[in-house]
Amino acid sequence: MPFAPKVLSDEDLKALGLGPKDIVEAISKAIRDKAAGRLITTPKSVIQPGDGRYMMSTLATGEGPDVTVVKAVTVCPDNPARGLPSITGAIMVLDAHTGECLALMDAEWITGVRTAGLSAVAAGPLADPQSKVMSFVGCGVQARSHLELFAGLYPLKEIRLSGRGQANIDALCEMAEGLGLTAKVCETPDQALDGADIVVSSITITYSGAPFLDARLMKPGALAIVTDAAKPWMRETFDAFETVVVDDREQEENMPDPVVPPAQIAADLTELLDKGITLGQGPRAFMFRGIAAGDYALAARLWMACGGRPS
């Protein structure tokens, strides 16, 4: 008799209770498994139809559990006006040996959490462990996901916000205050960068305006987490970053518009976890697009957490 796949909504996935340390541990393990050949992934695929939508897919297969994870997601900037989330899509969990579909999962929550999780994995060696001030340029889903995760990992006291959507700004302020943090709305993006320990930029990836963030404003030792293909950053200021890490060197070098020149990449996540890097006193940056290992890590962990059938 065929095995009926489980259907898991975002609310079902949240209810499984993965905490910040669980998320970082799962993603770190997947990255190390990839380096050891226990996880096989393909580079992220991207389609931009030209009307503001951004479509992407990832594919990975691994051991422990032996599952294949396929994710397809579309970012639709007009969705909020339709009463829909801006990030929509689905994740399939398949038996790696038979191809049998074991689960169908909503992709919005996992996408937000895995992005923040990748940031946290990089921040472990790159950020000041005593970081107290975290700034957000862009205050939507990714800002909220990063705040929720990082508040459980760092002794944050204050967040600073710079964004355009008042509803998102209000939601992020309310979330921060619920976590016992002070929230300050900045009059200019420059104020968000000045003096912050960690800066997360997460504006819409289809942003077509002029870049406005100056890396030279980052204080020594601060970490910029760049989730938006560096759309808001003035690339001529990237020399201010003493250390730049990407999620996957090969994937980044083969993108049609790399976020940073290959020569400036100090390491990718695999190299960072495997070999480590020597850090100077200057500001650092983690610039990334998302990798299949992150989606695999969380989907596989959640599949097992909900009582999934071991392969």
Check residue 52 and give its pLDDT: 79
Percent of the chain topping pLDDT 90: 74
> What pLDDT, in 10s, does the model give residues 278-290?
998 999 999 988 8
Check residue 1 and give its pLDDT: 43
Does residue 311 surpass a pLDDT of 70? no
Give the type of residue at 106: D
> What pLDDT, in 10s, does the model give residues 123-173?
999 999 999 999 999 999 899 999 999 999 999 999 999 998 899 999 999
Check residue 81 and give its pLDDT: 85
Check residue 48 and give its pLDDT: 84
> Any idea what DSSP says for residue 213?
B
Check residue 188 and give its pLDDT: 95
Mean model confidence pLDDT for the chain: 92
Lowest mean pLDDT among 14-18, 220-224, 243-247, 249-253: 249-253
Q: How many CB atoms lie within 10 A of CB 242?
A: 16
Residue among 18, 69, 35, 9 nearest 272 (CA):
35
Does residue 21 surpass a pLDDT of 70? yes
> Any idea what DSSP says for residue 260?
S
Out of 178-182, 252-256, 306-310, the most confident range is: 178-182
Residue among 223, 26, 224, 226 nearest 130 (CA):
223
Q: Coil, helix or strand for 16? A: coil
CA 220 to chain centre: 23
In DSSP terms, 61 is beta-bridged to 40, 68
> pLDDT-derived band of residue 194, with 50, 70 and 90 as boundaries?
very high
Asked if 32 contacts 125 with a C-beta cutoff of 8 angstroms, the reply is: no
Q: Which two tokens stand for residue 99?
A: 């191809």
**Residue of higher predicted confidence among 54 and 149:** 149
Cβ contacts of residue 25 below 8 Å, gap of 6+? none
Per DSSP, helices labelled H in the chain are: 10-14, 20-35, 108-126, 141-150, 166-178, 189-193, 249-253, 269-274, 292-305
Give the type of residue at 89: G
Per DSSP, helices labelled H in 15-104 are: 20-35
Does residue 253 surpass a pLDDT of 90? no
Check residue 255 and give its pLDDT: 81
Give the type of residue at 48: Q
**Residue of higher predicted confidence among 76 and 210:** 210
Q: At what angle do helices 108-126 and 141-150 cross, to 10 degrees?
A: 50
Q: How many CB atoms lie within 10 A of CB 151?
A: 19
> What pLDDT, in 10s, does the model give residues 206-241?
777 899 999 999 999 999 999 998 999 999 999 999
Taking the whole predicted model, whether its pTM rises above 0.85 is answered as: yes
Give the type of residue at 41: T
